[in-house]
Amino acid sequence: MALKKITLRPGINRDITNYSQEGGWYACDKIRFRKGYPEKIGGWTVVNFDAFKGNCRAILTYGTTDNAQLINFGTNAKVYAMSGTTIHDITPIRATFTTAATDNMFETVSGSTTLIINLTGHGASAGDFVTFSGSTDVGGIPAVEINTEHEVTRVVSGSEFEVTVTTAATSTVAAGGGTSITAEFQISIGYGSSTYGYGWGAGTWGRGTWGSGAATPVSLPERLLFLEQFNNDMIWNIQDGEIYYWDYDALFTNKSVALSSLTGARAVPQQVGKTMFTSSGHLLALACTEYARATTAGQTISSITNVTTTATVTTASPHGLDVGDWVEFSGQTPIAYQGEFQVTEVPSTTTFKVILLSDPGGSASVVGTYVSIDYAGTYDPLLIRWADVNADTGPVPEEWKPEITNTAGFIRVKGGSKVITGYNTRQETLIFTDTSLNSLQFLGTDEVFSIQSITENINITGPNVITEANNIVMWMGHDQFFLYDGRVQTLPCTLKQYIFDDINLGQANLFFAGSNREFDEVIWFYCSDNALNIDRYVIYNYQEQIWYYGTLNRTAWFDSQIINYPIAASNGYIYKHEDGIDDGQPLNAAAQPINAYIQSADLTIEDGERFVLTKRVIPDVNFTTSDATSTPEVEMTVGVRNFPGALVNTNDVAGNTLTRDVITTATIDQYTNQVFVRARGRQMNFKIQSNKVGTQWELGSVRIDFKPDGRRG
């Protein structure tokens, strides 16, 4: 007998058969390769104590000027900011109702934990969140249970909905709660994954009679969000929705607000596919509503008075304006009253105020006229717009009106039918449509940006599947991977069939990419064929140019930056990856083991002409990074079979029963010198697996004691 050192090619190849992959690795889960040798991946720990609501779809980490380290993230239900282990709800408020609309709006039924709310025009849907304050006890339900945040459990009508409380009512009350109630509704939730609907409200408004269901299934897309740092603050948007602004404060008392509601906000796109900053500081809106300007004649002006630069306009009849609206004055004397201004205050239905650029020195002697301005535009899926950047003060993300005196503007992509996403590189911003890749470049001239087509022969699975390493951009297509290093190429993948023959492209918008630079890895998370949620990942090690894969549920990822670990999300919790060696659990529960393994392809002697008798294995496993308080161990399994495709209970020509796999398993720890096994077959493989808390392993060069053992089974 002779010892043979088993040296296998790094990486996993599933694009050829097990037998054809001889000399390599064929299957794995939760391992990586380092310098050509496999090891178990690092573990993870839970960051937050309280679970968040919804499925997290975006993470952004950054530091503030007061040394806070933030992990901000968005789900299909809410948006959060986290500092330390505490999450803070910064979801925008959609609507606020007060007296008299909320007076005695609560209704109870004795013995029930359902709280009925009678509020005309509430606009809520099931699953939305509302916060009540100012109520008294109602029907035996304590005020402390009412005056908090609730999830809407049922919508009865446009004037009635229900929530659930803990304490059952002790009496039936038709109208209670008092006259000091406030109801704050957050923006409506979105879908956690792509689905289809037939029910009431499915599809476009007005497609049938009121209250009727859709006749054919309508696609109900999942909610995606895109987050961007802006100094200490954050600008974000819901895919194909509004742009929002969050103003950071150390106590986290501020909620996000619509960007269009900021002072000075003008011509902000109402619907945006994705927002992102370029290296020039311009805030881009990809796939958005166009710039448009329409005017409506205002009411007759009775007078215009001023206190320094604040002008008060009085109209002869109700003006119909709101704070934030824009108006343009003409024909006034002094001339300082002329121009375009934003309404800053509405004291009454016949008065409003604006801030002038300079003090006119007195009331208007000639009141002139005004028009109200509407900047609402039509949605264009191939349009790119950008906000102003002031040469002295920097980005002005609230100013979107193109003027000679600013750098706001727009440009249209020619290839494809819709802009899917964008990605910044050192020299350009890559713009992806459904079929094309384009280069958006900052010119620094009056035109601001130019766009050039790179190729019109690509595809991309979703807006979040792009990542970058060593100045090479990589992304997942519908049936292959691509890279861009100045030109577009196919990224060779030894797992192509394994991935794309078992993938649910119906959930492609959920797929996302990330990087783990500490280990020279880029990673894609995706849904297998029958999965509605992320359940698999595939990794490309760009230094060794190899692939490996595994199973794991994560819904968003952000590589280590201000936080020293990659950050990921799953099932209500934020995780720090590569932190520890086990599967960390919420609420300080005991960590669970990570089930990791790697299995070789089949090995033969003389192309399987002879049987192989395996008697002994000398392992080479390193446990030095395991938990010192544990007894780390792995299982080594040696399997043999006679034919690559032999099935269980198959007979050969002589009538002998041939078993597909004959398996011998032994436990290996740090003190194991050798393992005695007895296995005979034409082909053999071995597998290293661990499923014990505190175990971290690296596999070296295994030696196997085996010899030829005849030609007959």
Regarding whether 447 and 352 lie in a shared domain, the answer is no
* Distance (Å, whole) CA 89 – CA 74: 10
pLDDT of amino acid 611: 75
Which residue, of 342, 374, 406, is where some domain finishes?
374
3-state secondary structure 362-400: CCCCECCEEEEEECCCCEEEEEEEECEEECCCEEECCEC
Residues whose CB is less than 8 angstroms from the CB of residue 594 and which lie 6 or more positions away in sequence, other chains included = 30, 40, 41, 43, 581, 582, 583, 690, 691
- Asked, for residue 574, whether it belongs to a domain, the answer is no
Please tell me whether residues 172 and 257 are part of one structural domain.
Answer: no
Q: Which of 331, 348, 374 is the last residue of a domain?
A: 374
- Tell me, yes or no, whether 271 and 415 share the same domain: yes
170 and 119 belong to one structural domain: yes
Asked whether residue 358 falls in the same domain as residue 426, the answer is: no
Helix %, strand %, coil % for the chain, to 5? 5, 45, 50
**Are the C-beta atoms of 46 and 573 separated by less than 8 Å?**
yes
Q: What is the largest CA-CA distance in the chain?
A: 115
Domain that holds residue 645: 2-41+595-708
Determine the straight-line distance between the first and last CA of the chain, rounded to whole angstroms: 19
Residue 84, token pair as written in the block: 């330390």
Within this chain, do residues 670 and 602 fall inside the same structural domain, yes or no? yes
CATH number at residue 411: 2.40.128
C-alpha–C-alpha distance, residues 628 and 668, integer Å: 17
Question: E strands of 252-349, at which residues?
Answer: 257-258, 272-277, 283-289, 294-297, 301-307, 310-315, 326-330, 339-348
Domain final residue pick, 374, 390, 406: 374
Do the domain assignments include residue 88?
no
One domain, residues 695 and 615: yes
Distance between CA 582 and CA 45 in Å, rounded?
Answer: 8
**Are 283 and 267 within 8 A, CB to CB?**
no
Say if CB 60 and CB 275 are below 8 A apart: no
Same domain? For 365 and 386 the reply is no
| One domain for residues 302 and 276 | no
d(CA 410, CA 384): 6
Bridge partners, 330 (sequence order): 369
100: cis peptide before it, omega within 30°? yes
pLDDT computed for residue 567 by the predictor: 98
Task: Please tell me the distance from the alpha carbon of residue 103 to that of residue 177, in angstroms, as a whole number.
Answer: 7
Could you tell me the CATH number of the domain that includes residue 675? 2.60.120
The answer as to whether 579 is a domain residue is no
pLDDT of residue 652: 35
Q: Is there a single domain that holds both residue 273 and residue 140?
A: no
The domain that holds 139 is classified in CATH as: 2.40.30.20
655: region left, alpha or beta (phi > 0 left; psi from -120 to 50 alpha): left
Is 530 inside a domain boundary? Answer: no
- In order along the chain (713 residues), what is the average pLDDT of each group of 10 residues? 83 90 93 97 97 98 97 98 97 98 98 98 97 98 98 98 98 98 98 68 41 59 96 98 98 98 97 97 98 98 98 98 97 98 98 97 97 98 98 97 97 96 96 98 95 96 97 97 97 98 96 97 97 97 98 97 96 97 96 96 73 81 90 86 50 37 67 77 84 95 80 58
Give the chain's domain count.
4
Q: How far apart are CA 588 and CA 568, in angstroms?
A: 18
Residue 621 covered by a domain:
yes
Any domain includes 499: no
